[in-house]
């Protein structure tokens, strides 16, 4: 299947699932940019189009009914800051149940019985998916959400910290819902100027192209950085000596 045919099928499946048109366009642009960077075919990188559309999701289903006293909180962060904020909020007892259609972390916490949680983010696109799941699941990691080429995993800290993973007291629910890194704020300032210029010169179509291109470049950049870091770590790890 050609790349165009693959994305035509992917677009149709997402549209049938009720995904907003703007989100479909942004997602496809970001995935095309990722393929251009990786140099692979869409089937190799993402798997069959229909199955991949299902993993991307549309409007995320609501989580099961929580206990009446459970707190609910939804927040988001940029890709430079999400892992740090997940660590902060996990230590406060917030458990990520899912990522919604906007990429926000949907969390819950039950006062009195809250556990501390730890999180990690991995690139799980295409052929990497099985390898990542095979390495993490035996260690107690559970997938709690997906966004573009990323998978977010969670496990209670009690799995590694024992009784210290349980929280006797928890802080109040944060007031904020958006946590941006300094790099993201700087990019946002540049982005605002570029968006205004695009809108003035080309109108709404120009602004839409700029938004799609910027999101794609950010996703490709962070995925590239993570892949490079993994290769460097692997290169520094000495090979194990086989036992006789």
pLDDT digits (tens, 9 = 90+) for 93-105: 999 999 988 889 9
Encode pLDDT of 118-128 as tens digits.
999 999 988 88
d(CA 29, CA 213): 7
Three-class SS state of 97: strand
Give mean pLDDT, residues 71-84: 89
What is residue 242's predicted lDDT score, i.e. its pLDDT? 46
Strand order in the sheet with 105-109: 95-99, 105-109, 71-77, 178-179
| Nearest CA among 25, 3, 37, 31 for reference residue 209 | 25
In the numeric block, the tokens 């251009």 are attached to 36
- How many helices (H) and strands (E) in the chain? 8, 7
Q: Give me the helices (H) in 108-181, please.
A: 128-136, 158-161
pTM over 0.75: no
């Amino acid at each position: 299947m050609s790349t165009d045919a693959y994305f035509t099928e992917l677009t149709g499946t997402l549209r049938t699932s009720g995904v907003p048109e703007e989100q479909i366009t942004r997602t496809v642009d970001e995935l095309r940019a990722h393929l251009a960077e990786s140099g692979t075919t869409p089937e190799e990188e993402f798997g069959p189009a229909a199955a991949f559309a299902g993993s991307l999701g549309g409007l995320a289903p609501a989580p099961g009914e929580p206990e009446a006293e459970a707190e609910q909180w939804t927040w988001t962060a940029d890709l430079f800051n999400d892992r740090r904020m997940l660590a902060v909020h996990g230590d406060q007892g917030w458990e990520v149940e899912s990522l919604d259609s906007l990429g926000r972390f949907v969390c819950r916490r039950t006062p009195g019985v809250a556990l501390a949680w730890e999180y990690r983010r991995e690139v799980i696109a295409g052929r990497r998916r099985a390898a990542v799941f095979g390495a993490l699941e035996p260690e107690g990691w559970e997938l709690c959400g997906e966004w573009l080429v990323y998978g977010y995993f969670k496990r209670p800290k009690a799995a590694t910290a024992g009784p210290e993973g349980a929280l006797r007291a928890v802080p109040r629910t944060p007031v904020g819902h958006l946590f941006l890194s300094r790099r993201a704020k700087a990019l946002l300032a540049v982005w605002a100027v570029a968006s205004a210029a695009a809108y003035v010169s080309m109108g709404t179509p120009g602004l839409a192209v700029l938004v799609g291109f910027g999101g794609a470049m950010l996703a490709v950049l962070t995925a590239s950085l993570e892949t490079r870091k993994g290769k460097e770590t692997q290169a520094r790890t000495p090979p194990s000596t086989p036992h006789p």
